[in-house]
Each structure stands twice: as C-alpha cells, then as structure tokens.
Amino acid sequence: MSQDLTGRVAIVTGAGRGLGQAYSLALAKAGARIVAADVIDSSETVEQVSAIGGEAIAVSADVTSTEQMNDMARSAVDAFGRIDILVNNAALYGGLSKMSSMLDLSEDEWDTVMDINVKGVWKAARAVVPQMSQQKYGKIINISSGTIFMGMPGLMHYVTSKGAVWAMSRVMSRELGPAGIRVNCVTPGFTMTQASEDLMTKAGNTDTKQRVASMSPLGRSQQEDDLTGTIVFLSSVASDFITGQTLNVDGGVTHG
C-alpha cells in the first residue's frame, strides 16, 4: 500500500532543528506540505524543504500556549486548506540544565518539563482535532522515548513526561477514533542528535554513544534517518488500521 503523502498537510512541532527537521524533510519527500512549528526560527527547515521541491511554511509556536497552538492550526488551514498529520515532536531534552537525581531535581525544572513535554502534546493535539474531525480523517503521532522502558537515572522528570505521552496516546486513540483520527506513539532510542550531544556533554558521559551502540543487536548508534521511515508510514494510508499503538524504534536496545 502506498506511502505517498501527496496532497496531505503535516504539522511538525519542534521542527526548527534535530529530529523535527528530519521528520519535516522526510514527510516533504513523500509529498506532504509542511507546517514547521517551533519556538525557534524554522526558516532553515522551510528552505531545506523548498530545496527538494516541497512546500512549507514556518510558524512561530510555543506548545505551552493554547493561543499559539490554535494560531498554528489556523495558519495551516489558511495556507494549505487542511490538516492531515500532526507530529507531536517538541520537547525539552537537550536543553535540560543538567542530569539530576530525584532528590536533587528542582521543582521548577520538573514543572517546566511537564508543561512542555506533557501539556504541550495535549495542547497541540487539541488544536488540530476540530479540523481533522471536520475532514473525518487525521493522523496524530506522539513522540515518546525508549527511556520509558528502561528508566534513566538522572532524568526522572524527562522519563516521567514521556511515559505520560505514551499514556495520553492510548486515551487519545479511543476518544478520537470515532472521528476518523488515528493516534499512535513512537518511542525512539538514544538518537545522535545535537540535543543528545549537548546532554552527554553536560553530564560528562562521553562514552554513552558507544555504550548504547553496544547494546543494539545491530551494533551501531541510532541516527535521525532511522526514525523517519516510521513517521512517514504512520502518516500514510498504509497505516490506516493502526491506532493506539506504540512503535519502538531503537535498534533492539529494548523490547517495549
């Protein structure tokens, strides 16, 4: 079955760099028109999409703001007439101040992580549902993390937030299914993005990349492009009878 996304419109949050940018480019290569949403400038992502012959707009959007999420959805409809796909990718990860044990973790950082990583996913999804419901079709892909299967010392706030994303995806799939909206969750492994590099540097764990690679049956570290095929598949008609599921993409490091 085809994974051609021609005529589809995809919103990607956190699209300004890293995995969000990679997801945007992969969806554009499959034919989707892209709404690159981020609190940072997403013009580079738009330029890269244009360079491969795609269409994209950049939208300044903070996932913690209900108003800005609603504006994001309106911008997508104003520009392209519909919303078919939401990739809920925006999260606080590499920007964490440091890795902290549960005893040393500050309440302020806990609350910030929950606001972005949990409430942000809910708010972005809530913003696109009216348009998807009107169309009687839509795909929401929530990005969780393979850390929810492992536990990760020093990142209790992050792991907990991503566990919530997994749980929300189950609820969303049941609530939104009657409207023709499929909701699935992806749990990436430790991917070699700039955010991962930044976090390793702050923690002084320079051997993490090698250790994680050695845990995979495939014997190598995970790269951004290892995830993009899954995102395109879940966005396409090829996955129309899949909802409420979690796809663990980590090279076999865990068995979630």
| Residue 220 to residue 230: CA distance in whole angstroms | 19
Tokens of 227: 């995830």
Tokens of 75: 């911008």
Neighbour-count burial of 70, counting CB atoms closer than 10 A to its CB (0-12 exposed, 13-18 middle, 19+ buried): middle
| Residue 142 to residue 25: CA distance in whole angstroms | 18
Q: Of 79, 72, 55, which is closest to residue 125 (Cα–Cα)?
A: 72
Active site residue 93: no
Q: Give me the residue label for tokens 């902290």.
A: 100
- SS3 assignment, position 175: helix
Q: What are phi and psi of 113, to 5 degrees?
A: -60, -45
Which residue numbers are catalytic? 158
